[in-house]
């Protein structure tokens, strides 16, 4: 099996099925690897990005394709290098923290009137550079995840970070309690 087939199978295994949407993310990730001069196969992790490459992805949708980006580029929510700017667009911005390079890939419209199966076959057989328009990034490189001081909500008693505390009626409230408080005041 060639290397790309191995990579594709990894994506399908993670995502749970193969589909056109997964193919879009898969091709976007391969294109990002090429455009940002990333290297695959480091650290015995064949086919996936080597651990010292620091790639950040901002996805403009939360559809199937994001799963392929997680698998191929090692972007994840927990690591803080997978972020969402929800616009419902098939667009992805990739940053290489090491080099400062970035690129935004926007899916081109596919030929009209295709069935699900036809569009899957179309995306599978189309080269990434034919599939995406490369546009300048619109968003800045996100800062690294910050740590916030913790506070106890004076309503529910649960602990949350400073960024999620609101002052309402002289009390420090978590966002859930703050919303409840607002509702009772209308
Ligand atoms: Zn899918
Ligand atoms: Zn609370």
- The pLDDT value given to residue 44: 46
The ligand with the least distance to the CA atom of 17 is 1
Contact 28, 105 (CB under 8 A): yes
Mean pLDDT throughout 139-161? 90
Long-range contacts, stretch 3-8, CB < 8 angstroms, 24+ apart? 3/47, 4/30, 6/46, 6/47, 7/47, 7/71, 7/72
- The pLDDT value given to residue 42: 47
Average predicted confidence (pLDDT) for the chain: 89
Whether residue 181 is predicted with pLDDT greater than 70 in this model: the reply is: no
In the reported structure, the alpha carbon of residue 143 is separated from the centroid of ligand 2 by a whole-number distance in angstroms of 28
- Provide the whole-model pTM: 0.84
**pLDDT band at residue 47 using 50, 70 and 90 as cut-offs:** low
In the reported structure, the alpha carbon of residue 108 is separated from the centroid of ligand 2 by a whole-number distance in angstroms of 45
**pLDDT band at residue 22 using 50, 70 and 90 as cut-offs:** very high
């Amino acid at each position: 099996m060639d290397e790309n087939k191995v990579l594709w199978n990894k994506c399908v295994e993670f995502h749970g099925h193969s589909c056109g949407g997964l193919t879009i993310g898969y091709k976007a990730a391969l294109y990002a690897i090429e455009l940002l001069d990333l290297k695959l196969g480091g650290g015995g992790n064949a086919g996936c990005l080597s651990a010292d490459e620091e790639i950040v992805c901002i996805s403009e949708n939360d559809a199937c394709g994001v799963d392929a980006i997680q698998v191929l580029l090692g972007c994840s929510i927990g690591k803080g290098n997978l972020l969402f700017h929800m616009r419902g667009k098939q667009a992805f911005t990739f940053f290489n923290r090491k080099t400062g390079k970035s690129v935004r890939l926007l899916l081109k419209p596919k030929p009209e009137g295709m069935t699900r199966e036809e569009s899957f076959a179309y995306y599978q057989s189309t080269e990434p550079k034919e599939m995406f328009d490369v546009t300048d990034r619109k968003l800045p490189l996100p800062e690294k995840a910050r740590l916030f001081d913790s506070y106890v909500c004076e309503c529910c008693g649960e602990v949350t970070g400073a960024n999620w505390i609101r002052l309402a009626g002289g009390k420090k409230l978590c966002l859930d309690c703050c919303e409840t408080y607002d509702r009772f005041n209308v």
